[in-house]
Amino acid sequence: MTGHVLSVHVGRPREAAWTTIGRTSIDKTTVPGPVAVGALGLAGDQVSNLRHHGGPDKAVYAFAREDLDRWAAAFERPVPDGTFGENLTTAGLDVNDAEVGERWRIGSDLVVEVTMFRTPCSTFKAWLGRNGYDDRAWLRRFVEDGRPGAYLRVVVPGPVAAGDAIEVVHQPGRGVTVASWFAQAMGTAAPEAR
C-alpha cells in the first residue's frame, strides 16, 4: 500500500481568547521545503495544549485529502490542506484504515508508526466556525463520520516534504484500525478486524 504527502504544515502557539487555555497551534502554515522530523514532531511545529496533544505518541498528525474533500462537499466550500490542523495532508492512502502499530516509510529516511486517532475538541470546533465553516454539532458530526485521521510516533527521524512517497512497511496483523478503535472509543460501533 502506498500514498504520498501532498503538503506539510507547522504551527506555533498563538493567543486565542476563544480557546479553553487562551492559545492554540491549530492554525498551521504550509512549509514548501523539506522539514526535519524528530521524536516530538516537525521542526517549527509546537503544541499549545500539552495535556491533550503532542508527546512521542502524538508527534505527527496525518489527515487524508480524500477526507478533506468529503468535508468540502458537506460544507459546500473548499477545505484547504492543513485546515484540520494536520501536519501531513496525504493522498492515496486511507489513514483511517491503517492498523494501530502499522509503520510507514515516508520519503527515503523517515519511519513513523500509527499510534491512535484524533479526538475532536472544542478548539477544533471553534477554529472551523471562525473560518466560516458550519460548526453546528461539529463534535457529533466528526465522531459520526468516523474518519479522525491518525497520530504518528517517529520511529526513525528524517525529513519530510510534499511529494514524498508513503509506503506501508509493517502491519502488526491485529486488525485494529484507527477508524475501528475510534468508533469503539466514541461508542459508535464495535471494533472490526479488517
Q: What pLDDT is stored for residue 48 in this prediction?
A: 72
Mean pLDDT of 61-78: 98
Bridge partners (DSSP) of residue 5 are 90
Amino acid at 169: V
- Assess if residue 145 is contained within a domain: yes
* pLDDT reported for residue 54: 79
DSSP per-residue codes, 100-131? TT-EEEETTTEEEEEEEEPPP-HHHHHHHHHT
For range 36-62, the mean pLDDT: 89
| pLDDT at residue 169 in the model | 98
Tell me, yes or no, whether 113 lies in a domain.
yes
Q: How far apart are CA 34 and CA 168, in angstroms?
A: 21
C-alpha cell at 152: 504518528
Q: Is residue 60 in a domain? A: yes
Q: What is the pLDDT of residue 194?
A: 47
Residue 191 lies in a domain: no
Q: How many residues does the chain have?
A: 194
Mean pLDDT value across residues 87-114: 98
Q: Which residue has the higher pLDDT, 121 or 78?
A: 78
Residue position matching grid coordinates 503532542: 54
In a domain, 193, yes or no: no
Span 139-176, pLDDT tens digits? 999 999 999 999 999 999 999 999 999 999 999 999 99
In a domain, 194, yes or no: no
Out of 25-29, 37-41, 78-82, 176-180, which region has the weakest mean confidence (pLDDT)? 25-29
Range of the domain at 81: 2-186
Contact 29, 9 (CB under 8 A): yes
In a domain, 192, yes or no: no
Q: What is the CATH number of the domain that holds 62?
A: 2.40.33.20
* 8 A C-beta contact, residue 153 and residue 112: yes
**Total domain count, the chain:** 1
User: Which of 43-47, 111-115, 119-123 reaches the highest mean pLDDT?
Assistant: 111-115
